[in-house]
Structure 1
């Protein structure tokens, strides 16, 4: 079994080695800048061949309160390792410090009742409490990783502006619709006059021209319902060009028809 003391950069500063069941540590001081890596393997008395136990932990038990922190050992049968960090220890014990017993706990069917190997004791710096007190040293908050309650956010909404009386929008809507109503009334009063409608090839151009005008009106309605200005401009440009060409041809046919009559 080997216990390696590492600094923040992961470099090993001290190493303690012992064989089962001897202890290797005696109140070794662990600060917030150091961590402890425990390496070991498990073998049976008969074969002496390393095995992979079903469970392998490194336990740190506080002598003062009895709080226990568990660190799982990972690796291969030849080498199992568990890394004990001061920050993780404080998270599991609520920031407690002081003297901790260090044990290796093995659970496997080959060992009835399991194996508990005491490696000695370590002196862990206590985390700073909310009151600012802490025996044994100060642990910066970034090493605790303990979530704190967030401040509740209260949204302050602006008071809505005062709206006019409901009758005012109705009046303005009526004023806007009044010219349209007058136009529709005038159109209804007009009679359809087809005397000047050209015949022959001219009638085709006249029909296409009126179809283009109707398409423009439909486009206006669609624009009012769902389209925006950027989407209507290309379609309106195409229809306008179509109406210009067909209208010119239709008027030319009407003029030619009048010249023949004269």
Structure 2
């Protein structure tokens, strides 16, 4: 057993090295032929592709079939190499949706891919227009897959009554659900026509008329400040009247500049402060009135 261990290790290393070398083998394509077949089986168009950047211009409608034949070889691999993955990809230029068609073994050797109109519609829906065709070949024994661009395929659907192509729509409702929605441009309603400036000024003066009447009456009668609290009650009374003045100023700012959400927090603070000092002022006035001696009646 001890003598066989080095032999087993040597075989394992050899297999690993051989597998790594096989994985580095490059895939090559040859005999790539692209044909467009009519419903009767006759060839409508045929091209031979010799490189990965072909620029074919093909046409596919509901009566035709697109066929691609190819032979794949692996450097350092078997002569009868068949890749694990070989597809023909058709990508719609408008939406980016792609349809894939798997290759099968051809009768005369090699691989063949057929793309029919109804199979394309099942994968990407009704999307007339130009598609980019590409040949994809890959295998685990090769570290580098192969992608050959074949050119463009113009897909046509049965025309409508006016001769135009049908509108593009996805095959599955979920595709329409998860597609990016068009950008919404919001438009505000046009503002209503405002009243003339003369009318606005007139009603503003009407609203200020009671205040003006109060000021005129106070000036004519004369302001009496003898009853204003003095001593320790002076500061609460002054703060109470200052709070009332601040609330009036806040109403003016709300009318000119502020909105409701800006006004309410300030009004809540001023209201609490004014109420507290008003209560203190009233308590002081009540205490002062109770301390006065009663007046003698004649």
Indicate the TM-score class for this superposition, using the shorter chain for normalisation. 0.3 to 0.5
Report the TM-score when normalising by structure 2.
Answer: 0.41
